[in-house]
């Protein structure tokens, strides 16, 4: 089973709509990372969250880590076709880095 | 400033064969980590190299081995290939070693290995 559960697995939205992707862990997260991956390509680092309640934004993407440090959300405002791709959360666990299975985002023009 | 580069881009091998994948880290980086990403899954950590030694290892069999050279580039070797080894192999580089291979790693585009 995945130690990091992401939901939804896939998402299709109309351009301009807002959306949220979630990442949940059964363990306390001491470093939570969000990456974006285009199909078959490498991962692009988006943001890192470490403190409970922390929130970071970059352009139209906002990521939050809850107070208990077991869940993170990634919110995209006014989605654009350039936001399409696979979003992965990753976390430091047991001396290595674990990833969720990813959320595939499609943005329809 | 060159980012992380990997070669080859694609590779097709037959079951039982051996394969070597190569990675050059981002300029200024000295630590290289390798990941296996099966279709529809997140990457899984294979191992990390720093100062030409394997420092951390994930849950992968000994068929998976690696090497780091003095110029910090790295190779991933897989022996006795199985059909299940078909995946995208990602290399990531970072600076210094501080516990888990995590923060602000820069990933290469990957090598897609198909085992038939």
Note the pLDDT tens digit of each residue in A14-53.
999 999 999 999 888 888 999 999 877 789 989 999 888 9
Looking at the DSSP bridge assignments, the partners of residue A48 are A33
Which range scores top for mean pLDDT: A1-5, A51-55, A86-90? A86-90
Residue B1's pLDDT band, with cuts at 50, 70 and 90, is: low
Chain A: residue nearest B35 by CA?
A: A97
Chain A: residue nearest B87 by CA?
A: A40
C-beta atoms of A42 and B90 within 8 A: yes
- Does residue B43 sit in helix, strand or coil? coil
Within 8 A of B86 by CB-CB distance, chain A residues are: none
pLDDT top residue among B99 and A57: A57
| Mean pLDDT of all residues belonging to chain B | 92
Name the class of domain A4-108.
Answer: mainly beta
Q: Which of residues 76-105 of B touch A (CB under 8 A)?
A: 88, 90, 92, 99-105
What's the rounded mean pLDDT across residues B71-75? Answer: 97
**Domains of chain B: which residue ranges?**
5-115
**Domains of chain A: which residue ranges?**
4-108
pLDDT of residue B62: 96
Q: Is the peptide bond before A106 cis (omega within 30 degrees of 0)?
A: no
Within 8 A of A45 by CB-CB distance, chain B residues are: 104-107
Please tell me the distance from the alpha carbon of residue B102 to that of residue A89, in angstroms, as a whole number.
12
Please tell me the distance from the alpha carbon of residue B32 to that of residue B68, in angstroms, as a whole number.
8
Name the class of domain B5-115.
Answer: mainly beta
Quickly list DSSP for A20-61.
Answer: EEEEEESS--S-EEEEEE-TTS-EEEEEEE-STT-EEEETTE
């Amino acid at each position: 089973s995945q130690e990091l559960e992401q939901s939804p697995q896939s998402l299709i939205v109309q351009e301009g709509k807002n959306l949220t992707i979630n990442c949940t862990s059964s363990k306390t997260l001491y470093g939570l990372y969000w990456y974006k991956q285009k199909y078959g390509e490498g991962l692009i680092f988006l943001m890192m969250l470490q403190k409970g309640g922390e929130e970071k934004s970059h352009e139209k993407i906002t990521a939050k880590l809850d107070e208990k440090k077991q869940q993170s959300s990634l919110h995209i405002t006014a989605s654009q076709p350039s936001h399409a791709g696979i979003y992965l959360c990753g976390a430091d666990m047991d001396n290595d880095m674990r990833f969720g299975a990813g959320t595939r985002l499609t943005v329809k023009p | 400033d060159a980012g992380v580069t990997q070669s080859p881009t694609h590779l097709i091998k037959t079951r039982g064969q051996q394969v070597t994948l190569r990675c050059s880290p981002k300029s200024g980086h000295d630590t290289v980590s390798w990941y296996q990403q099966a279709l529809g899954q997140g990457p899984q950590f294979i191992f990390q190299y720093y100062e030409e030694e394997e420092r951390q290892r994930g849950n992968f069999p000994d068929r998976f081995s690696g090497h780091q050279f003095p110029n910090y580039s790295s190779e991933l070797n897989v022996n006795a290939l199985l059909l299940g080894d078909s995946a995208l192999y990602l290399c990531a580089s970072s600076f210094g070693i501080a516990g888990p291979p995590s923060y602000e790693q820069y990933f290469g585009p990957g090598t897609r290995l198909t085992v038939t």
